[in-house]
Structure 1
Amino acid sequence: MSARAGSKAAILGTVMGLALSGCSAMPDSGPTERSVLNAQKDQAHNPLGFEILPVTPQIAAILASEVPPLISSLDAANNPFSHNDRIGAGDVLTITVFELGSGLFASSGGGGASAAAGEGASAPGPAASVTNQNLPPTQVEADGTISVPYVGRMRAAGMTPQDLAENIRRSLGSKSQNPQVMVRISSDIANTVIVSGEVHHPGRVVLSTAQERLSDVIAIAGGATYSPEDTHVQLVRGDRTGATDLGTLESFPREDIRARPGDRIHVIYQPRTYTVFGAAGKDATETPFKSPNVSLAEALARVGGPADTRADPNAAFLFRFEDPVAARQLGLTTPATPIGTPVVYQLDMMNPSSYFLAQRIPMKTKDVLLIANARINRFYKMNQLIGTLVSPAITAAWIAK
């Protein structure tokens, strides 16, 4: 019995020795904090020359300023409605003049339509007729004016068709007998928006007095090609820009503002995701945004945060190719690549202040989150391995006894 016990002890000793010697070869889900920090200093492991920046209030403020303004911020509070019935440069107008009797615009052959004058007509005699004549299509010039026969050049841009018709009528009053004028915009250029990108029918969309909203305009253009959550909508209004996703426009009326003449709407297919590696609560995964903006705190929460059994909460790393503007503000000296300047941000989740800062830092598409493994993680796995190997032997010894 003693020889058998000695043999078992020798076997157990050998197993433990092999386990200890193989500790460094144990598999891991990612590097430790020390490995990442050392890689920054090692040119062989850092050919891009990235820098590691601890997250501070100053860095959080710079990164927070990169969030594009909401589309609703482009809608001035003092002018929530636009005028979609105004004449503008480039519009083509159809002008019709009605006159009593033999008027200025009546054709010599009497080709104009005629009818008996009503009781209120001022024409002399019961046989007076009304003629109407369509003037040649008239385009509004770049300076906003048009030329009308017997009137000359007059202002048209910024006026409604009714206002312009009244101005023409007054100008013809001394030259024609009780003239009446109708103006119609036959080719509307000024009251349009440009819709481009991933829609079925990109191009100009004419706005009406119904005051269409952004989602209405996209629907008029045939609708988006892809699903709302993967469709990014960028609005350019004057010299300002706002952006959101189509799902937000459809779900939040406050963001679905009314389109205005001259707006440019870019519809972009952008399935925004970020990737998580290391000792997160969930396995390595590519996580979709599913909302217009996602903060670093939200991104960490969606993947379960640091795993209690194997993560080092002092070392959550955000890997990113930073925009040139932000890179200059951060003082990065790393050479830029075609997709940005590589940089790594380190967040210490054992510091309560870091949770406030993480709420301010916006995630960007294609960001990579790495939650470093704790240095004792391999020893923890080794203990599990030893337990797996030793437990059957202990059980067998207990049964033999």
Structure 2
Amino acid sequence: MSASDIIRPLARRRLLRAGATTAVLATAACNDFIPSSGPRIAGIMKPATVQAGDPGPASDPAMNYAVVTLDSGVVARAEGDTPLNLFSAGMRSRAAAESRFGIGDILSITVFETQSGGLFIPADSGARPGNFVTLPQQQVGRAGLVTIPFAGEIRAAGRTAGELEKAIAGRLRQRALEPQVIVTLVERRSAVISVIGDVSQSLRFSLDPGGERLLGAIARAGGTRFAPHETLVTLQRGGVSESAILADVVEDPQLNVQLAADDTIIVARQQRYFLALGAVGQTASITQLNRRFPFEDRRLSLGDAIARAGGLQDDRANPSAVFLFRFERRAALARLGIATAAFAGEEVPTVYRADLLNPTSMFLVQRFPMRHNDLIFVSNAPSTDLLKFMQIILPFAQTGALSATMAQ
């Protein structure tokens, strides 16, 4: 063996060691050597004067949460849950408002007597036709009273036309000849309904004696500016506010509630969104990807949401690790038979898991309903970590092999 044959392997090993050392120094010590869009975590956390908050390690997070794997029972119960935004049973069961006079209403009152010579009709009435007299129109005062000649002040607010007619006739019975009274509503200025917000024209109108329903009031205001599935209708009554999505009101006649005096209807656009993170969507795109997606429909299933997010990435996704993160109502989890005693509050952090390697799950995700602000996360397949590691190591191995070849 010649001296050159001994020197070449030594030189090759030295070059490999030098290349490996340079790579380690470049990646571990020289932050300026590797491109970056900003400081690394150590560069932000270490110089801080004060650090607060601790989510806990990944193996033992600070926030407790429940994990539920989708099956037919879970999906059936989820489909049966009522939406969060619905009018209460008390508001839905209200009957049409009875027509009663209120403060500000303008009334016309006519008094009839059986013959001339009574209180309002003189014995010598001349050419005057009829046996009645119509009093000047008057407005129900702030105290809720109207004034009748020879009868004084009588309460009108809160009474129906028939009740007020009987009250006036009773006061006049001792002085008039068998008086009969007819009360007519000339102009209603009480029992006002207000419709404001994202409607064609804000409106304030008086409640009709026959009653009015929610959709009718919105129609009076010219309809809404946005699609029903992204329009939230809030009804304020007696210091209480309740809301429903307009699309639900259109579909369910029971939600088209009867209005009451002094109701206020607020129409506002409320787009519902979900988030999709992880191995979803296109692997590469010439435009910036948006991970926040609008519902664009009244109902959206988990399958719809995954498809709208671009589906699972074929080269990255783990189909058995599709997760949906949501704050679930405690009562909903209790119906699933899940113990909730360990959780505080009415909303429980919950993770729903779908195993899309199982064909059954393909049907289940088509029925599982999405909610506003749900977050979908699809984990990477285990092989992706190996591929990433190989992508880091391979350039250095190639550099070492090239150096060894050149040294020969």
Aligned to 1:271: 271
Aligned to 1:321: 327
Structure 1 SS opposite 2:67: strand
Shift of 1:97: 2.4
Aligned to 1:341: 348
Aligned to 1:217: 217
Shift of 1:231: 3.0
**Identity percentage of aligned residues:** 25
2:65 aligned partner, one-letter code: F
Shift of 1:174: 8.4
Shift of 1:152: 10
- CA distance, structure 2, for counterparts of residue 311 and residue 115 of structure 1: 100
Contact 1:140 1:146 in 2 (8 A): no
Contact 1:316 1:347 in 2 (8 A): yes
RMSD of aligned alpha carbons:
5.9
1:331 aligns with 2:339: yes
Q: Deviations over 1:115-136 (max 9, x none)?
A: 9533xx3x5xxxxxx6432476
Aligned to 2:70: 55
- CA distance, structure 1, for counterparts of residue 141 and residue 368 of structure 2: 51
- CA distance, structure 1, for counterparts of residue 339 and residue 103 of structure 2: 48
Q: 1:295 to 1:133 in 2, by over 3 A?
A: same
Aligned to 2:134: 132
Q: 1:356 to 1:194 in 2, by over 3 A?
A: farther
Shift of 1:278: 0.9
1:55 aligned partner, one-letter code: L
TM-score, normalised with respect to structure 1: 0.58
Aligned to 2:107: 94
Q: 1:312 aligns with which of 300, 318, 321?
A: 318
Structure 2 SS opposite 1:117: coil
Q: 1:137 to 1:311 in 2, by over 3 A?
A: same
1:288 aligned partner, one-letter code: P
Shift of 1:344: 1.5
1:313 aligned partner, one-letter code: P
Q: Deviations over 1:258-314 (max 9, x none)?
A: 753356634344232111011113455100112233222221222233222221111
Shift of 1:233: 1.5
Q: 1:151 to 1:322 in 2, by over 3 A?
A: same
Q: Deviations over 1:158-205 (max 9, x none)?
A: 85x4x5677578766885457553321655544x44557667988964
1:299 aligns with 2:315: no
Greater RCO structure (CA 8 Å; 6+ sep): 1
Q: 1:43 to 1:331 in 2, by over 3 A?
A: same
- Structure 1 unmatched runs, 5+: 1-9, 26-39, 108-113, 124-129, 392-401
- CA distance, structure 1, for counterparts of residue 156 and residue 341 of structure 2: 57
Aligned pair count reads 340
Q: Deviations over 1:356-376 (max 9, x none)?
A: 443443322222110111112
- CA distance, structure 2, for counterparts of residue 316 and residue 97 of structure 1: 76
- Structure 2 unmatched runs, 5+: 1-11, 29-54, 283-288, 399-408
Aligned to 1:30: none
- CA distance, structure 2, for counterparts of residue 153 and residue 226 of structure 1: 48
Aligned to 1:397: none
